[in-house]
Amino acid sequence: MGNQFKTLVLLATLSGLLIAISYWVIGGSSGLIIGIGLAAVTNLFSWYQSDKIALAVYRAQPVTESQAPGLYRMVKKLSDRAKIPMPGVYIVPGQTANAFATGRDPEHAAVAVTEGILQILPEDELEGVIAHELTHIINRDTLTQAVAATVAGAISFLAQMVSYSLWFGGGSRDDDRGGNPLGVLLTVILAPVAATIIQLAISRTREFSADAGAARLTGNPRALARALQRLELTAKQLPLDGNPAFEPLLIINPISGQFLGNLFSSHPATDARVEELLKLERELTTTVY
């Protein structure tokens, strides 16, 4: 429940930030109404279109059982075990090794893996990756991340529009309609950074939960731990190209190196994830025996 509550607070903060920016920049009740409208529209858009956008960004192609029998059967087996509908199965072309899930709920979901991941992971490790993505679907993380990405994008877009207006003579304002120019300038600079930090914090929170859910679904935490270590190594050598807003959907950070530190990372450190999985393995072993 701790992670769920933390995610809820972060999402509420993100939407609140969008509303506050509109109020501060546009001013008065008009800004407040526009901010609430923007938050509502972006959330509604994420609800209905997030899966299509994510799949298009990574050029994922749907596959049938006859086209990818092993992968298809694995997704079906784990979906049945998790008691959720079979999601759509997609393959992303290219040698990069990664995977993601998308969709607003288990009834409207998809799992996508790259050609590269199918080539480098043995069956038990691939099963751990698929279970991780199915856990994201079960927990509605796919919708949460889509909403976070879209709202953060709206904040950045709004800040960019305001910066253009300041540069091209739109900075003259009636004092009754909003804050002072310095406040607007700070908003333009700091708001996108704050939105990005919140979005990435949501992503890091959900990854630990998905790892734990996958370990319980397969009964093999160590296989997922090995997969994460293998995937991190290949991600550094061959990162997956795509829109940065969708990086939190991926199972492993696609950027070579986390040079901006944990604050600006879309994923927890792989060593920390492996440590938690091995700890869970010990707990499961103790429970069995």
Q: Output the six-digit token pair for 95.
A: 């040698």
Q: Output the six-digit token pair for 163.
A: 């910066």
61 phi and psi angles, rounded to 5 deg: -115, 135
Catalytically active residues, by annotation = 133
Q: Residues with Cβ < 8 Å from 114, sequence gap 6 or more?
A: 91, 92, 93, 94, 95, 96, 97, 98, 99, 240
Judged by DSSP in three states, 277 sits in helix
Q: Give the alpha-carbon dihedral of 21, 27, 28, 30, to 10 degrees.
A: -80
Judged by DSSP in three states, 173 sits in coil
162 phi and psi angles, rounded to 5 deg: -65, -40
234 burial (CB, 10 Å; 0-12 / 13-18 / 19+) is: buried
Q: Give the alpha-carbon dihedral of 274, 279, 284, 285, to 10 degrees.
A: 110
Question: What residues are paired with 250 via a beta bridge?
Answer: 100
For CA atoms 232, 238, 243, 249, give the dihedral sign. negative
Q: Output the six-digit token pair for 162.
A: 């305001």
